[in-house]
Amino acid sequence: MSSRIRVFSSSVGTKLLVGMTGLALFLYLITHIAGNALVFFGPTTFNQYAHTLTSNPLIPVIEVGLLLIFLLHVYKTVTMYLGNQQARPLAYKMKKSQGRPSRKTFASSTMIFSGLWLLIFVIMHVKAFKYGLDYEAANGVRDLYRVEMETFRSPLTVTFYVLSMLVVGSHLWHGGSSTFQSLGLDHPRWTPRILAVTKLLAAIIAGGFIVIVLWAHLGQFAGQVGR
Examine residue 17 and state whether it is found in any structural domain, yes or no.
yes
Gap between the Cα atoms of 102 and 97, Å rounded: 8
Examine residue 1 and state whether it is found in any structural domain, yes or no.
no
Examine residue 79 and state whether it is found in any structural domain, yes or no.
yes
Maximum Cα–Cα distance across the chain: 63
Kind and range of the H or E element at 129? helix 111-129
Examine residue 100 and state whether it is found in any structural domain, yes or no.
no
Taking phi over 0 as left and psi of -120 to 50 as alpha, with beta for the rest, 184 belongs to: left
Examine residue 163 and state whether it is found in any structural domain, yes or no.
yes
Examine residue 55 and state whether it is found in any structural domain, yes or no.
yes
Q: What is the pLDDT of residues 9-35, one digit of tens each?
A: 667 678 888 888 988 999 999 999 999
Cβ 104 vs Cβ 97: under 8 Å: yes
User: How many domains does the chain divide into?
Assistant: 1
Examine residue 125 and state whether it is found in any structural domain, yes or no.
yes
Gap between the Cα atoms of 200 and 214, Å rounded: 21
Q: What is the pLDDT of residues 41-74, one digit of tens each?
A: 999 999 999 999 999 999 999 999 999 999 999 9
The structure's pTM equals 0.82
Taking phi over 0 as left and psi of -120 to 50 as alpha, with beta for the rest, 226 belongs to: left
Range of the domain at 77: 7-87+105-221
CATH of the domain at 182: 1.20.1300.10
Examine residue 96 and state whether it is found in any structural domain, yes or no.
no
Question: What is the pLDDT tens value at each position of the chain, 227 positions in all?
Answer: 444 555 556 676 788 888 889 889 999 999 999 999 999 999 999 999 999 999 999 999 999 999 999 999 999 888 887 877 776 655 555 455 455 555 556 666 777 888 889 999 999 999 999 888 889 998 889 999 999 999 999 999 999 999 999 999 988 887 776 776 666 666 677 777 878 888 899 999 999 999 999 999 998 655 544 44
